[in-house]
Copies of this chain bind each other. A is one copy, B any other.
Amino acid sequence: YEIHKALMVRNSYLPAETKNGQRISVMGNIELPEEVVSLLDHGGDGIGLYRTEFQYLSRPDFPSENSLFENYKDVIDVMGHRPVTIRTLDINGDKAVNYIRDNQEPNPALGLRAIRYCLRKPDIFQTQLRAILRAAAYGNVRILLPLISGIEEVEQAFEQIDEAAETLEKQGVVYKRDIPVGVMIEVPSAAVTADILAEKADFFSIGTNDLIQYTLAIDRGNRHVAHLHQPLHPAILRLIKGTCDAAKANGIPTYMCGEMAAEPIFAPILLGLGVNELSMNPQTIPVVKNAIRSIDTTGIDGFMEEMMRLTTPNAIQDLLAHQFGSVVPRIGLSEQER
């Protein structure tokens, strides 16, 4: 087993390419700058999700532009030419910041979070955006907007990014505005209107944990309803497929972060739907890369058509196991996306 594991980690430096030559990037999710080393050690092709909440949680007040900038630049410097996807502040219910939350929300998962919070507090948003644009001058940076529910929020966020760039321009500071700005697809309304969002976004990143939580109205942290948290629910597959199709029609790529991306047995479906990049806990990267390298996706379109006609999560899981179960392991979902 140790030899198998060592081989897998060694092979993880190779690209994730199926037996028939379909390629997909396998990236890592990080929260702290020091996780970058582990991400590279595990063969990550880049950072698919850099969560930026930590710097806001570990202090008595809001972090300065410079401290954010230096933090981002440290990560970017190590990553070199590889993509670094920085998600803007995604403050939420289960990771509440004391100095922000002066009130208790009865359903924090449905409350003033993420992009909603940032658009209501432009000063805080501007500080972070300036730090990101400055750091972007030193590498391959993307901005990712969390919890988007409609096109108006995307447009407002783009205006905020433009404003941050104008401020830096006036100040004569080194920065880069011309970077991809993507939309997280994790609110059902965003998936249902992906064709509208695709006209503005440079890429999509599907956040499967929240998407499943809202689409099925299941709190994934609540053990009483955990049995209903089904990634293979036909509604989830339809929303993922609709998102990928809308992205393709508009010539933009679709990425995925969240537990679903990290589960090897789901890889054939994600390859079949045309997801371009998977991002996960760095430790899982070798397992997923290895799984993808053992899959043959010849004829996957027919398989997907058959799958999309099924009506229950169990039937979908059975078909998946029947077709790919002998090649790809099911490791059990391993990570909490936040």
Contacts and interface: CB of A to CB of B under 8 A. Distances in A.
Copies in the complex: 2
Interface stretch (A44-52, A75-83, A124-132, A188-196): A188-196
A111 B239 CA distance: 22
A159 to B, nearest CB: 15
Interface string A88-112: 0000011000000001011111111
Contacts of A209: none
Contact of A235 (B107, B189, B312): B189
B106 A217 contact: no
A225 interface: yes
Given A215-B188, A216-B149, A107 B222 contact: yes
A150 B93 CA distance: 27
A89 to B, nearest CB: 16
A201 interface: no
B94 A218 contact: no
Given A112-B225, A150-B313, A311-B151, A196 B234 contact: yes
Contacts of A312: 150-152
Interface in A197-249: 210, 213-219, 221-222, 224-225, 228, 230, 233-236, 238-239
**Which one of A213, A218, A314 has the highest number of Cβ atoms from chain B below 10 Å of its Cβ?**
A218
A116 interface: yes
A217 B105 contact: no
Contacts of A216: 149-150, 187-189
Contacts of A267: none
A214 to B, nearest CB: 5
A238 B110 contact: no
B105 A222 contact: yes
B112 A224 contact: yes
B107 A109 contact: yes
B221 A106 contact: yes
Interface of A: 93-94, 103, 105-112, 116, 147, 149-152, 187-190, 192-193, 196, 210, 213-219, 221-222, 224-225, 228, 230, 233-236, 238-239, 311-314
25 contacts: A93-B106, A94-B106, A106-B221, A106-B222, A107-B109, A107-B219, A109-B110, A110-B219, A110-B225, A111-B224, A112-B224, A149-B218, A149-B233, A150-B216, A150-B235, A187-B216, A188-B188, A188-B214, A188-B217, A192-B192, A192-B238, A196-B234, A196-B311, A214-B215, A214-B217
Given A93-B107, A188-B214, A189-B236, 11 more contacts: A110-B110, A110-B217, A111-B219, A150-B234, A150-B313, A187-B215, A188-B216, A188-B217, A190-B235, A196-B311, A210-B217
